[in-house]
Chain A
Amino acid sequence: MAILVFSEETDGHASASALELTSKAAQLGEVTVFHVGEGSADALAELGAHGATSVHHMDPGDGLPAPAAAAAIADLVGGDAPAAVLFGMGNTDRDVAGRLSARLGRPVLAAAVDLSIDPVRVTSEILGGTQQIITEATAQAPALVIVRPKAFAANDTGGPAPSTTAVAAPDVGRSGSAVVVERHVEEQEGPDLEAANVVVSGGRGLGGPDNWHLVEELAAELKGAVGATRAVVDAGWVPYSLQVGQTGKTVKPTVYIATGISGAMQHMVGMKDSGTIIAINKDADAPIFGIADLGVVGDVQQIVPKLIEALKARS
């Protein structure tokens, strides 16, 4: 069974989701990757190492990539259709999946946490992760599937560099007329949020951006990464790249510390699979306590400084 995986390049690397999906797809069948971006040798080698045998590479230049990528993938799957096209939850992934769905007239099976083929069946968690549904694709192949981050592990099996075919970005006319005029990378200190062993996240309970240093200092003390809820991202305290949850990043650290976070469903789906969860909240009824291994009912502004001091005293 052939499977196509979507990949987007950032900073010379294939997306984390593409490596996870390539690893999974390699267990199910023959993997081809549609890779968007510069097409650096590193990115291509990573895809091969995770099991991709061939890569179709498209450089979108300054255009928003989705319209041309969707058109090119539609051409590619037009003849001998793969069983499925797999996407991650990245913004470009979702843009391409949506456009391809409209082009091919196939639904998008979303938020998958597990997948089998022949027939294509997808497991997803709904209603804030309280219910699990299995959905079967009944339309003609390929099935279009969006998979949640970290649903599958990335396995570097040392595969050889894949055969690479350059794909020219098709002219998609009016749809393709949006251009990227500036790119801004918001520099982050410390370890990568999605890979860190410890994540310290803060919510609205911190009281304001002036207290955010408590989260940063605690994370630094634990050599961990800083995360945030959407409430504080929307309030402009921290950039979106720190957001954990349904519409942000999914993390599975050994330890997750939630400070001043209520525990909305949309936040918890992004961190509930962490090893040990520690929550500090002044409201004993906060939903976050429902999934915490250790819940401390108290004031973050009292507890976090003492915790930082205690950790400093140890080192």
Chain B
Amino acid sequence: MKIAVCVKQIPDPATPYELDAESHLVVRPQDQVLDDTDRYGVEIGLQLAEASEGTVTLFSMSPSGSLQGIRQALAMGADKAVLIDDQALRGSAALTTARVLAAAIEREGFDLVIAGTESTDGYTGVVPQQIAEILDVPALSFARRVEAGDGKVTIERQTATGYDVVESPLPAVLAVTAGSVEPRYPTFKGIMQAKQKPIENLTAGDLGFGDDDVGIAGSGQSITAVAPIAGRQAGEIIEDDGEAHLRIVALLEEAKVI
């Protein structure tokens, strides 16, 4: 099986994010990490490839920087990576990301495209569905359990009240939730091998996109204002001295819920 896994390098979520004052875009440091939620997609890709003597190719549209995040995913066992890194792509909308990734994946050929349900640093959460529409294949989204074989994929899809079992022929796009599998940690050997694995670099132009199709110009939206939100203030903080539950009861009374 030929498996494409979409991964994203993001600024370390443990450090506070900064917005560029003029462009309102998140400032991207040299060293970025693999989005933690992508480790699940990589793991599922590796398991399916192992079971089918297939290959796993990573696709990522991001400023490459030191490539630390991509190497993390290669060290887990992916075979190679295709990176689309282009100044013209700065400020792209999710739809542009989907178009660029879909074009790169189509050029390579695929049986299954795997992505995370949403990235940690974004909040649009529709890229897998957009890729599926562009590639004209089913989207198996919100998958919490995945099985594949005999040219089809079966998933458990989270719903608001439980889950559905959904079956689809290949090719397809699969979007997995965290918790769907236990991602492996890279071994020392994996980390050493990752340094030798091929990384192909493409520009938007290589995939047939003009400068006006992508980036801020092609985003179809513009940020008109950014302002900090006056957050909720912290209230009273007490140490439990064995009687703290009584303070809670008093507050529940005050709130008139008991």
* A residues at B contact (CB < 8 Å): 10-11, 64, 66-67, 70, 90-91, 94-95, 97-99, 101-103, 105-111, 121, 124-127, 129-139, 146, 173-186, 197-198, 222, 224, 230, 233-236, 239-241, 246-247, 254-255, 257, 272, 275-278, 284, 289-299, 302-303, 306-307, 310-311, 314
- The 6 A-B residue pairs with the shortest CB-CB distance, nearest first, are A98-B129, A298-B240, A234-B179, A139-B220, A98-B126, A178-B168
**Closest Cβ–Cβ distance, residue B214 to chain A (whole Å):** 12
Report yes or no: B249 in contact with A130, Cβ–Cβ below 8 A: no
Report yes or no: B235 in contact with A295, Cβ–Cβ below 8 A: yes
Instruction: Name which residue of chain A comes closest to B92, CB basis.
Output: A107
**Closest Cβ–Cβ distance, residue A111 to chain B (whole Å):** 5
For B232, give its contact among A11, A183, A291 (CB under 8 Å). A291
Report yes or no: A197 in contact with B257, Cβ–Cβ below 8 A: yes
| Cα–Cα, bound, A276→B248 (Å) | 11
What string of 1s and 0s marks CB contacts (under 8 Å) between B128-148 and chain A?
111111101111111010000
| Cα–Cα, bound, A95→B255 (Å) | 39
Task: Say whether, besides A131-B19, A178-B140, A294-B235, A102 and B95 are in contact (CB < 8 Å).
Answer: yes
Please name all residues of chain B whose beta carbon is closer than 8 Å to the beta carbon of A294 when the two chains form the complex: 235-238, 247-248, 251
Instruction: Name which residue of chain A comes closest to B140, CB basis.
Output: A178
> B202 interface residue, CB < 8 Å from A?
no
Q: Which of B237-258 contact A (CB under 8 A)?
A: 237-240, 242, 244-249, 251-252, 254-258
**Closest Cβ–Cβ distance, residue B249 to chain A (whole Å):** 5
What string of 1s and 0s marks CB contacts (under 8 Å) between B214-239 and chain A?
00000111111111110110111111
Report yes or no: A126 in contact with B123, Cβ–Cβ below 8 A: yes
| Cα–Cα, bound, A255→B254 (Å) | 11
B interface, how many residues as a size bin?
35 or more
Q: Identify 17 residue pairs between A and B in the complex whose beta-carbon atoms are under 8 Å apart, listed by A's number.
A: A10-B160, A10-B161, A91-B157, A98-B98, A99-B130, A99-B133, A107-B94, A107-B220, A110-B124, A124-B123, A127-B19, A186-B162, A235-B179, A289-B237, A291-B231, A294-B238, A307-B249
> B167 interface residue, CB < 8 Å from A?
yes
| Cα–Cα, bound, A111→B95 (Å) | 16
| Cα–Cα, bound, A241→B164 (Å) | 13
For A178, give its contact among B125, B167, B178 (CB under 8 Å). B167
| Cα–Cα, bound, A111→B240 (Å) | 38
**Most chain A CB inside 10 Å of its own CB: which residue of B17, B161, B254:** B161
Task: Say whether, besides A295-B236, A297-B240, A138 and B251 are in contact (CB < 8 Å).
Answer: no
Please name all residues of chain B whose beta carbon is closer than 8 Å to the beta carbon of A138 when the two chains form the complex: 220-222
Please name all residues of chain A whose beta carbon is closer than 8 Å to the beta carbon of B239 when the two chains form the complex: 284, 296-298
Task: Say whether, besides A133-B225, A181-B165, A291-B231, A246 and B141 are in contact (CB < 8 Å).
Answer: no
